[in-house]
Amino acid sequence: MKTIGIICEYNPFHNGHAHQLHTLAQEHPEALRICIMSGSFVQRGEPAIFSKFDRARWAILGGADIVIELPTLYSLGSAQLFGTGAIRMVKALHIDALSFGSETADLDTLVDITKRMDCESTQTVLRTYINEGMSYGSAFRKALNTEMLNTPNALLGLEYIRAGLTYYPSLKYIPILRTSDHHDANITKDFPSGTALRKLITNMATGSNNCNKNSIYTSTDIDTTTSTNSTATATTLTKLNALNSKIKLQLQSIVPKTIADDMTNIISNGAYVNYNRYYDMVHTLSRRTSTKELESFGEFSEGIEHLWSKAAQQPTWDLVMKQIKSKRYTYARLQRMGAYLTLGIQKDLLQSAIQESPQYARLLAFNDRGRQWLRNDFEIPLIQKWAKAPNELNTLGQTMHQIDTLATDIQALCLHNEVKRMGHMDYTYTPQYIK
Residue-wise pLDDT tens digits, 396-427: 999 999 999 999 999 999 999 999 999 999 99
11 is in an annotated binding site: yes
15 is in an annotated binding site: yes
9 is in an annotated binding site: yes
Please tell me the predicted confidence (pLDDT) of residue 277.
Answer: 97
Number of domains in the chain: 2
Burial call 300-321: b when 16+ CB within 10 Å, e when fewer: beeebbeebbebbebeebeebb
Please tell me the predicted confidence (pLDDT) of residue 211.
Answer: 39
Query: Could you tell me if 7 and 66 lie in one domain?
Result: yes
Domain-located, residue 259: no
DSSP 285-317: HHHHS-HHHHTTBTT--TTHHHHHHHHTTSSSH
Query: Could you tell me if 298 and 393 lie in one domain?
Result: no
Domain-located, residue 68: yes
Which tens digits make up the pLDDT trace of 86-97?
999 999 999 999
300 is in an annotated binding site: no
101 is in an annotated binding site: yes
Check: CB of residue 76 under 8 Å from CB of residue 403.
Answer: no
162 is in an annotated binding site: no
Distances (CA, A) of 178 to 15, 41, 97, 192, 377: 12, 24, 18, 11, 34
Least confident of 77-81, 208-212, 379-383: 208-212
Going by C-alpha positions, the residue among 191, 215, 137, 182 that lies closest to residue 42 is 182
Which tens digits make up the pLDDT trace of 49-69?
999 999 999 999 999 999 999
17 is in an annotated binding site: yes
33 is in an annotated binding site: no
424 is in an annotated binding site: no
Please tell me the predicted confidence (pLDDT) of residue 233.
Answer: 59
CATH number of the structural domain spanning residue 38: 3.40.50.620
Phi, psi (5° rounding) for residue 20? -60, -45
Query: Could you tell me if 398 and 347 lie in one domain?
Result: no
14 is in an annotated binding site: yes
298 is in an annotated binding site: no
178 is in an annotated binding site: yes
Query: Could you tell me if 369 and 325 lie in one domain?
Result: no
Domain-located, residue 256: no
Which tens digits make up the pLDDT trace of 275-325?
999 999 999 999 999 999 999 999 999 999 999 999 999 999 999 999 999
Query: Could you tell me if 163 and 309 lie in one domain?
Result: no
229 is in an annotated binding site: no
Determine if the peptide bond prior to 12 is cis (ω within 30°).
yes
Better-scored residue on pLDDT, 197 or 278: 278
Which tens digits make up the pLDDT trace of 339-361?
999 999 999 999 999 999 999 99
Query: Could you tell me if 117 and 28 lie in one domain?
Result: yes
Query: Could you tell me if 416 and 372 lie in one domain?
Result: yes
Please tell me the predicted confidence (pLDDT) of residue 316.
Answer: 97
Query: Could you tell me if 19 and 114 lie in one domain?
Result: yes
From 305, 321, 351, the end of a domain falls on 351
12 is in an annotated binding site: yes
Query: Could you tell me if 24 and 172 lie in one domain?
Result: yes
183 is in an annotated binding site: no
Distances (CA, A) of 406 to 154, 342, 389: 31, 10, 15
Going by C-alpha positions, the residue among 140, 78, 39, 127 that lies closest to residue 298 is 78
Query: Could you tell me if 39 and 78 lie in one domain?
Result: yes
Which tens digits make up the pLDDT trace of 393-402?
999 999 999 9
Q: Which domain holds residue 345?
A: 275-351
Amino acid present at 75? S
CA–CA separation, 341 and 335 (whole Å)? 10
Please tell me the predicted confidence (pLDDT) of residue 232.
Answer: 56
Domain-located, residue 198: no
pTM: 0.88
Query: Could you tell me if 345 and 389 lie in one domain?
Result: no
Query: Could you tell me if 323 and 176 lie in one domain?
Result: no
Phi, psi (5° rounding) for residue 286? -65, -35
